[in-house]
Amino acid sequence: MSEKFCSGYVGIIGRPNVGKSTLLNAFLGEKISIVTPKPQTTRHRIMGILTLEDSQMIFLDTPGILEPHYQLHRNMVKCAYHVLDEADVVVFIVEPAPLQGIEKRIIERLSSCQQPVLLVINKIDTIQKDTLLPLIETYASMNIFHEIIPISALKLKGTDNLLKTIKTSLPEGEPFYPSDMLTDKPERFFAAEIIREKIFKYYQEEIPYSTTVVIEEFKERKPKDYIQGIIYVERESQEGILIGKNGAGLKKVSTEARKDIEELIGREVYLELWVKTRKDWRKSSNDLKEFGYVQG
């Protein structure tokens, strides 16, 4: 370990679907945050720990900040803004497009931050180069960003430069976690997230947003671990859609999720899924607390 060691928390915030989880996974070289083309995939704060020879960066991936329509959304926005109180460095991710109302509201909150705020313009591989400079100038004129860094998290362009900038912005200090620790979440959390990812992949409209997954049992045993999960929906009519004809839909979700869980934990798994209705759970404070969506 070098003489000078830096360590600290890095909060990643932005509107839904700007690439926060993709960036976290790129930094870690491991998929710990689920990613789908649909917005509002991330619902919890996900911690990812990157330990290098001279630094430890603790990334906090957050739900996308949006205009809330349900109590769930309000909890997600609260969770996202909570990292401003925890982080030593804030990474604000935007797309290479004109500012929208959500970005303006986030910037208003960031303007009072005492810690360095890095603006990351993601998805630069999707635009012409001559459209990027005016956007950088617009953000630079606000005089609140420590650095403005264009990247493509998906193509790993500019991510090394971003990582170096984050590292130099962190305070000196000892590591907070063991060097081999990647996250603070247990295996059962990631099992539930993987199942949710498959639902986002295969279902349209409100189905992915109306579902949540609870792991009722997670037992290590021979020859296969046993995992029982319940997929909760908001209306009884959604049960049939999720299960599909002759159970085909649920089987597809279960099969793909099982493979990814096995890859994650390095053991064979028997995955059993059930679908149940919990009416309007996204609007219920009690249900949200039970399902783990209440920020402490």
The domain that holds 204 is classified in CATH as 3.30.300.20
The fraction of the chain above a pLDDT of 70, given in percent, is 99
**pLDDT tens for residues 194-204?**
999 999 999 98
Residues 64 and 131 in one domain: yes
What CA–CA distance (Å, rounded) separates 59 from 171? 15
Q: Is residue 179 part of a domain?
A: no
Q: CB of 41 within 8 A of CB of 203?
A: no
Residues 106 and 64 in one domain: yes
Number of domains, the chain: 2
Query: Which pLDDT does position 295 carry in this prediction?
Result: 60
**What's the CATH code of the domain at 149?**
3.40.50.300
Query: Which pLDDT does position 67 carry in this prediction?
Result: 87
Question: Domain span at residue 200?
Answer: 187-290
Q: Is residue 201 part of a domain?
A: yes
Task: Say yes or no to pLDDT of 1 above 60.
Answer: no
Domain end, chosen from 135, 169, 203, is at: 169
Residues 150 and 59 in one domain: yes
Query: Which pLDDT does position 30 carry in this prediction?
Result: 87
Nearest to 215 by CA among 203, 200, 232: 232
Q: Is residue 178 part of a domain?
A: no
Q: Is residue 181 part of a domain?
A: no
Residues 82 and 209 in one domain: no
Residues 132 and 192 in one domain: no
Q: CB of 28 within 8 A of CB of 156?
A: no
**pLDDT tens for residues 142-165?**
999 999 999 999 999 999 999 999
Q: Is residue 176 part of a domain?
A: no
Query: Which pLDDT does position 39 carry in this prediction?
Result: 82
User: How is residue 264 written in tokens?
Assistant: 């994650």
Residues 139 and 201 in one domain: no
Start-to-end C-alpha separation, the chain: 35
Residues 199 and 156 in one domain: no
Residues 156 and 46 in one domain: yes
Residues 102 and 154 in one domain: yes
Residues 74 and 205 in one domain: no
Phi, psi of 49, deg, nearest 5: -110, 120
Q: Is residue 159 part of a domain?
A: yes
Residues 114 and 211 in one domain: no
Q: Is residue 41 part of a domain?
A: yes
Q: Is residue 177 part of a domain?
A: no
Residues 193 and 162 in one domain: no
